Structure 1
Amino acid sequence: MTDCGCDKARQDLEEYLRNEVCKTEHAQIREHIENCPSCQGEALVASTLTEVVARACKETAPEELRDQVLAKLRAAQVAAH
């Protein structure tokens, strides 16, 4: 394999982590990340951030909080008209 270099690995990192690059590019980026401590760190940060955001999007607000927010939105709509 040929090393794709830091610029290519970083440019396509998000797509790589989502498996949205072709197999050849995926293998080249994976090889580069495995051998480049700087890109390893960046990939770790990006994958951790993606996981945290995905987990947060699955959480729901408590029923009481949702009711309070909806009540304030309704009050704001009434006041605006």
Structure 2
Amino acid sequence: MMSDHTEHIHVSDDPSNAECADFLERIVRLIDNELEAGDCAVVRAHIDSCSPCLERYDLQRTVKAVVARSCGETAPAELRERVRIQIQQVQVRITDA
């Protein structure tokens, strides 16, 4: 017997399913630790019962891990200085406008 607090989980192999589309943003937010505990449980339950969403979850986690590893480099001092100067120039133009 299901309690009133249990969300109905639709098992589907159709990744274009409207319910699954709603979960895509929530899956990304789950990976980024931006969901409340109750929402985390709902998303995890959906992922556990939906193969396409589990695949999306795994793909998103992999992409984020690769990007995080790739972003560990520090830009050369000369490049950082050029970027800082361009940002200041843009700020001046915006202020003068």
TM-score by length of 1: 0.67
User: Which structure's residues are more often helix, by fraction?
Assistant: 1
Query: Which AA in structure 2 matches 1:40?
Result: L
The number of residues matched between the two structures is 67
- Gaps of at least 5 residues in structure 1 are 75-81
Identity %: 29
- Gaps of at least 5 residues in structure 2 are 1-5, 11-18, 83-97
CA RMSD of aligned residues (A): 2.5
Structure 1 partner of 2:40? 26
Whether 2:59 is the aligned partner of 1:45: answer yes
- Separation in structure 2 between the aligned mates of residue 19 and residue 9 of structure 1, nearest angstrom: 15
Structure 1 partner of 2:29? 15
Deviation string for 1:9-66 (max 9, x for gaps)?
21212111111011111100001001110001111110000000000001357xxxx5
Query: Which AA in structure 2 matches 1:58?
Result: G
- Separation in structure 2 between the aligned mates of residue 44 and residue 23 of structure 1, nearest angstrom: 20
The structure 1 segments of at least 4 consecutive aligned residues displaced by more than 2 Å after TM superposition are none
Query: Which AA in structure 2 matches 1:43?
Result: Y
TM-score by length of 2: 0.57
